[in-house]
Structure 1
Amino acid sequence: MDQLINLGIFLSLVLIGYIFGRMAERRHFKSIREREANLADILTFSERKIPTDFDNCRGQLVSGAVVVSVDYFKMVSAGLRNLVGGRVSAYESLLERARREAQLRMKEEARRLGAKVVFNVRLETSAISQGQNNQTRSVEVYAYGTALIAPANG
């Protein structure tokens, strides 16, 4: 009987994790899409060399960092996927959200500085928390680049 209760608790936690995790993920993706549309005028490039068109601009480092934790359902489904191998799609959406959020925060900083373009954009990703059996519990994504700020007219 205790095993049946434990199984019921486990399945309940998985279901709750799935429902609330999906709701949070959908809200976050909606926020990301809205903010991306709002910041679409700030262009980002991975190129290191800045074109000569921007020679009169001042460069300044801008960055954005985010830490996103894994919900219980994603941990369970990733654990099951590790048993059989293959893509861990539960983590793919987590990383996509984190990358897009970090870039948005970088663009928001660029906008506050008055920049319209960011060059040499780089992304760093790391697992910052490990659980039992080396399961990733959260990821950090750090986006950074050089914002080019046009000189003030005057």
Structure 2
Amino acid sequence: MELIIQFGVIAFLLLLGLVFGRAAEQRHFRELKQKELILREVLVFSEKHPPADQEFRSANLVVGSVVIAEDYFKRIAASLKSLVGGRLTAYESLMDRGRREAIIRMKQAAREAGASMIFNVRIETARLSESDSNRQALFAAEFIAYGTALVPATRP
């Protein structure tokens, strides 16, 4: 009987963590969408060179970075999925959130500098993990978006 109670408590805590983790992720997606709408006038391009017909007062390096960690439930879902192969959708949302947040932070830095567009944008990721012999590895990913913010010579 004691084993059933312990299993029930563990299952309840796992379910509680799953519910709150999903709610936090959905809240983050809503916040990202709002910030993207606010910053939509700052244009982002992967091309190296800006249009030749426009003049710019200055060009500045802008950077946005964020570290996003996995939650315990993503780790379990990814571990189970890796047994049979296929897309790891649990990590796809983590990667999407990280890229979007890094771009938003880069665009905020460009806006603060008075820039209207960012050229030569690059996004890099790095895996951060920590483990020792007594614990499982913690997975986190750092996302860095950077580019050249161009401040127009004249304001519209």
Category of TM-score, reference length = shorter chain: 0.7 to 0.9
Tell me the SS of whatever aligns to 1:40. Answer: coil
Q: Normalised by the size of structure 2, how large is the TM-score?
A: 0.87
Shift of 1:123: 0.3
Per the TM alignment, residue 151 of structure 1 is displaced from its structure 2 partner at its CA by 3.2
Between stretches 127-136 and 45-54, larger displacement belongs to 127-136
Structure 1 gap ranges (5+): none
Distance in 2 (CA, whole Å) between partners of 1:2 and 1:88 is 36
Task: Give the Cα–Cα distance (whole angstroms) in 1 for the partners of residues 143 and 6 of structure 2.
Answer: 36
Distance of 1:10 and 1:129 partners within structure 2 = 26
Corresponding position of 1:143: 145
| 1:106-125 alignment runs, 5 A limit | 106-125=106-125
Higher helix share: 1
Please report how far the alpha carbon of residue 97 of structure 1 lies from its aligned counterpart in structure 2 after TM superposition. Answer: 0.4
Give yes or no for contact 1:13–1:72 (8 Å, CA) kept in 2: no
The DSSP-based 3-state class of the residue aligned with 2:79 is helix
Q: Which moved more, 1:136-145 or 1:37-46?
A: 136-145
Offset of 1:35 from its aligned partner? 0.5
Supply the RMSD in Å over aligned alpha carbons: 2.2
| Deviation of 1:134 (Å) | 7.9
Alpha-carbon distance between aligned partners in 2 of 1:115 and 1:134, rounded to the nearest angstrom: 44
Q: TM-score, normalised by structure 1?
A: 0.88
In terms of fraction of residues, the more strand-rich structure is 2
- In structure 2, do the counterparts of structure 1 residues 75 and 5 end up closer, same or farther at CA, with 3 Å as the change threshold? farther
Q: Is the 8 A contact 2:55 2:152 kept in 1?
A: no
Q: How many residues align?
A: 153
Match of 1:73 in 2: 73
